[in-house]
Structure 1
Amino acid sequence: MASRYTLRMELPQSWTIIDVFTGQPAVIRQKVMVGMGPREAEDMVVQMNVRDVKRRERAERKS
């Protein structure tokens, strides 16, 4: 299953989490995931991808 989220470096030490399905910055709880430090961004993108895989697996089982 393809990862939905990836990182893009905007400036040194400034990262954006991108939704690869839309090409836009990800939005979580009404916060746009831009201008993040590298460690925070990497941790967040891993968590977001794990949650997305679980969500898609549940949806597949229902159909």
Structure 2
Amino acid sequence: MPDSETYAFPSLKRELLGAMSHDYGRRVEVNRSWTIYHVFTGRPAEIGTRPMVGLSEFDATSVMLFLNSHNAERRKASFSRHPSGGGSCQH
């Protein structure tokens, strides 16, 4: 069966996935709910104090894309403020 998100936002998905780092992923749980997790720790992501568990597939995908694009924008802004990486090494 085709992946439903392919039809939900094909161009948005391609655009965002191509332009961002993937700090967050999504996984389906045994109870068929979805969890957004931090890919390096495996722990559920949190927004404020709310863990991103028990979500629908659509909500998990939407929030995951938002979190990853937000992180990519933060990195881009940080890099533009400190193009040398922010280090104090002098040659």
**TM-score per shorter chain, which class?**
0.7 to 0.9
**TM-score normalized with structure 1 length:** 0.85
Sequence identity (%): 35
- For the residue of structure 1 that corresponds to 2:34, the secondary structure is strand
- For the residue of structure 2 that corresponds to 1:7, the secondary structure is strand
**Alignment coverage as a number of residue pairs:** 63
Is the 1:13–1:36 contact (alpha carbons within 8 Å) kept by the matching residues of 2? no
1:16 equivalent in alignment to 2:35: yes
- For the residue of structure 2 that corresponds to 1:18, the secondary structure is strand
Which sections of structure 2, spanning at least 5 residues, go unmatched? 1-19, 83-91
1:48 equivalent in alignment to 2:67: yes
RMSD: 1.4
Indicate the residue corresponding to 1:34 in structure 2: 53
Q: Which amino acid aligns with 2:36?
A: I
Deviation, 1:12, is 4.9
Is the 2:36–2:53 contact (alpha carbons within 8 Å) kept by the matching residues of 1? yes
Q: Which amino acid aligns with 1:56?
A: R
Indicate the structure with greater strand content.
1
Indicate the residue corresponding to 1:60 in structure 2: 79
**TM-score normalized with structure 2 length:** 0.62
Higher RCO, 1 vs 2 (CA within 8 Å, ≥6 residues apart): 1
Indicate the structure with greater helix content.
2
